[in-house]
Structure 1
Amino acid sequence: MLLLGITLLLGAIDLLRLPFSSVDLAARNWVDLIKASGCLALVWLACSFVLYRLNRDFSRMAQVIRGVAERVRAFAALVGAFLPLSMSISVFMYLSSATDKPLTDAELAMIDEALGFNWLNFLIAVNESAFFSTVLLVAYHSLAFQVPLVLFWHAMQRSEHYAIEFIALFGISATISLALMSVIPAAGAYTYFDPGPADFSNFTAQAGMWHYSVLSALRSGMPFELVLTEVNGLVTFPSFHTTLGILVVYSLRHSALWIPVGMLNLLMIIGTLPEGGHYLIDVIAGMMVAATSILAVRTYSARLAHFDRQRNPLAVGAGIEETNLIGDTTTAFPDARR
């Protein structure tokens, strides 16, 4: 029930805040939601129908088709669980950004200085190598593809419990990040240091600034129509790229992918500084958010497993492998534990 609880909590907070905010949800959001939900439902039902028809067919071809249908259905169910959570998070992020609280960029830059880190000097130094800059740039933007790939990987491997764990971690870490962002609003290192074009010539033209026009519009207090398919990341402190990069690797910890993905995301985290425009303290805070979220989910899972063992001493398994984070997974994933 953890995942469901996070989604409902964020959704309820969004509904309570919307009437008092300059942010308004565009009508097309509901159309897009219906389309997406309808497509996922059709895929799930189609796969269920295939499995029903082949239930008593034990031929080799039928087994192959059943395996594909089971995995595709699992992926549709996982995306269906992720979709409402991500929507609630996006609305919360925009509502929290629509504030006139003073930006804290100067304070964040001072913390970096106290840590012995000069963001502008780092940017200029990294930009001197076109190759390294390109590597960091590609690694940074790869994160957008990693989340759906994690869900797809676990669906194909029939390890849906790890996908559910990942979605729960995503929800908890996003909630923590949004709470911190609400208290410590910032625009990013590019707005504070204002580097010249030559200083980041090997990065994208809008490096660290693609969100700034949206952030400025939200902070102006003028009416803002939010289209969820056009959402920009607005969180500077803490670095959610850092948090999510760690969570992706953690979710793949029992697969052969964790080493190459870990190396990729190490570069991605470095790339949050020059391409993402994050301060070093943002990255450190993002690491702490990831660690806190993992600890929270592991603690919840252990306690739930302990409760299950007390209720049924013959139950086998402990920890996340047999722990239910969203309720009865046998409904959406009836074949998950074969």
Structure 2
Amino acid sequence: MRPIVPSEIGSVVNMFFLYRGERFGVGIILAVSATLAVLVAQGQTQIVWDAFINQFVFYGIIMVSGLLLRCRGWLPRTSLTLVAVGFFPIFSSVTALTGHMMFPLQRPLVDETLFAIDHALGYDWVAAVTWLADYPQLSTIMKYVYLSALPQLLILLIVLGVQGRVIALHRMVVTGMVAGCLITLFWSIWPSFGPSAYLDVPDEVIARAGLLVTPDYGAQLMDLARNGMERIEKHQLLGTMAFPSFHILMATLALFFARGTWLFWPYVMANSLMIPATLTHGGHHLIDMPGGVLLFVCSYAISRQMLPQTAQAGCATTPDYPTTATA
């Protein structure tokens, strides 16, 4: 692989000199971390940091390794990739902890309104799950499609980094981070859990469908809403936010930024089932689906403003964005 010339990525002279998108990413992580610190100080819930420290150290080492390569001027595409792969999971963990610190809920759940929209559109989650149980092989495929959302993003991060598509990579990362912040803020005001927290499904149907999100899972969420948590450990982190659907946001994010890479058509095939998979295995309301797409549109619009096509990195000694970049 030929090295990237300065016109493509720019000169790197110091491990602390970050791209504009990386600086935004670090800034977002620090802002969410500050919010988490305030919630921890004011709340009664304790975080068992020992359960998370290994993960933070692991991804921190990945990020620092990328910066060290950049400091030496070695393997610029590898450096670009390592930094992105390092701080994106850190953001995800900090945001998940922030969301869990909001329990017990101080505002009423809005699922009743979402159920009314489901009814108006003719959607019934129990009926959908019961139908899916009659096709166990299809249900298994959809389950793995649902579980593939985050791995798709991590693979795409690596591909964009290896290809040296700097602005596309950073817009993707910043879009995902902005979306995580927006959905957490939205959910703190209008929380929802989805149908699984309210509706019963026969055990036999759950078993045949191999359902991921079950009424038992929904019962855990309702208990969190009422009683909160005394301690948060890693294994206790649950997917809690129904509207808008973050899974649909991730699928849209993957499809949009996979354009122009060899991943695009495989992602089209995989994500063709993401909506029914999210509705059934994810235990979502129907309105959560367009909500996830709208979340992407808003987040991407913000990332484009933060990282315009001709954006410079911000100082003379920091890498500049190539003006030929796309996405």
Classify the TM-score, shorter chain.
Answer: 0.7 to 0.9
Partner of residue 253, structure 1:
259
Q: What's the counterpart of residue 236 of structure 1?
A: 242
Is this contact kept in 2: 1:188–1:236, CA < 8 A?
Answer: yes
**Contact 1:44 / 1:76 at 8 angstroms: preserved in 2?**
yes
Is structure 2 residue 286 aligned with structure 1 residue 280? yes
Q: 1:328 to 1:89 in 2, by over 3 A?
A: farther
Count of residue pairs brought into register by the alignment: 303
- Match of residue 58 from structure 1: none
**Secondary structure, in 3 states, of the residue corresponding to 1:280?**
coil
Equivalences for residues 193-204 of structure 1 within 5 A? 193-204=199-210
Q: Is 1:99 matched with 2:87?
A: no
Partners of 1:230 and 1:193 lie apart in 2 by 23
Residues 246 and 292 in structure 2, CA contact (< 8 A), matched pair in contact too: yes
Deviation at 1:256, TM superposition (A): 3.0
Aligned twin of 2:143: 137
Asked if the contact 1:87–1:228 (Cα under 8 Å) also holds between the matched residues in 2, the reply is: no
How far off its partner does 1:17 sit?
1.8
In the TM superposition, what are the counterparts of 1:53-72 in structure 2 within 5 Å?
69-72=75-78
Shift of 1:153: 1.1
Distance in 2, matches of 1:30 and 1:41, equals: 17
Pick one of 151, 157, 162 that aligns with 1:156. 162
Q: How does 1:24-173 map to 2 (within 5 A)?
A: 24-28=46-50, 31-32=53-54, 35-37=57-59, 39-40=61-62, 43-44=65-66, 47=69, 69-173=75-179
Q: Could you say if the C-alpha distance between residues 329 and 88 of structure 1 is closer, same or farther in structure 2, counting changes exceeding 3 Å?
A: farther
**Residue in 2 that maps onto 1:55:** none
Paired letter, 2:65: V
Q: Distance in 1 between matches of 2:87 and 2:52?
A: 17
- The aligned residue for residue 311 of structure 2 is 323
Residue 33 of structure 2: aligned partner: 11
Amino acid corresponding to residue 122 of structure 1 in structure 2? A
Partners of 1:222 and 1:200 lie apart in 2 by 27
Alpha-carbon distance in 2 for matches of 1:160, 1:74:
8
Structure (1 or 2) with the larger CA radius of gyration: 1
Higher helix content, 1 or 2: 1
Root mean square deviation, CA, Å: 3.2
**Residues 50-107 of structure 1: CA deviation (Å, up to 9, x unaligned):** x66xxxxxxxxxxxxx6xx444332221123324422331122112343143333232
Q: Tell me, yes or no, if the aligned pair for 2:48 and 2:232 is still in contact at 8 Å.
A: yes
Q: Partners in 1 of 2:271 and 2:316 — Cα distance? A: 30
Aligned to 2:198: 192
Q: Distance in 2 between matches of 1:265 and 1:154?
A: 19
2:43·2:101 contact (CA, 8 Å) conserved in 1?
A: yes
Q: Is the 8 A contact 1:134 1:202 kept in 2?
A: no
Matched-pair contact (CA < 8 Å) for 1:17–1:95:
yes
Residues 198 and 223 of structure 1: is their aligned pair in 2 closer, same or farther, counting only changes over 3 Å?
Answer: closer
- Asked if the contact 1:189/1:279 (under 8 Å) is kept, the reply is yes
